[in-house]
Amino acid sequence: MAKLIWSPRAIADLNAACEYIARDSRQYAYLFAERMVALIETMPRNPWLGAVAPEYRQERLRERHFQNYRIVYRLLGNDDIVEIAAVVHAARRMPSNL
What's the total number of domains in the chain? 1
Domain assignment present for residue 32? The answer is yes
Does residue 63 lie within any of the structural domains?
yes
pLDDT tens-place string over residues 8-28: 999 999 999 999 999 999 999
Q: What is the pLDDT of residue 11?
A: 98
In a domain, 98, yes or no: no
Strand partners, 83: 5, 74
Which phi and psi angles does 57 have, rounded to 5°? 50, 45
Residue 35 has pLDDT above 90, yes or no: yes
Provide the pLDDT for residue 27: 98
Q: Tell me the residue range of the domain where 23 lies.
A: 3-89
Q: Of 37, 34, 35, which is closest to residue 6 (Cα–Cα)?
A: 37
Query: How does pLDDT run across 47-72, given as a tens digit for each residue?
Result: 999 999 999 989 999 999 999 999 99
Q: Mean pLDDT, the chain, as a whole number?
A: 95
Q: Domain holding 30: CATH number? A: 3.30.2310.20
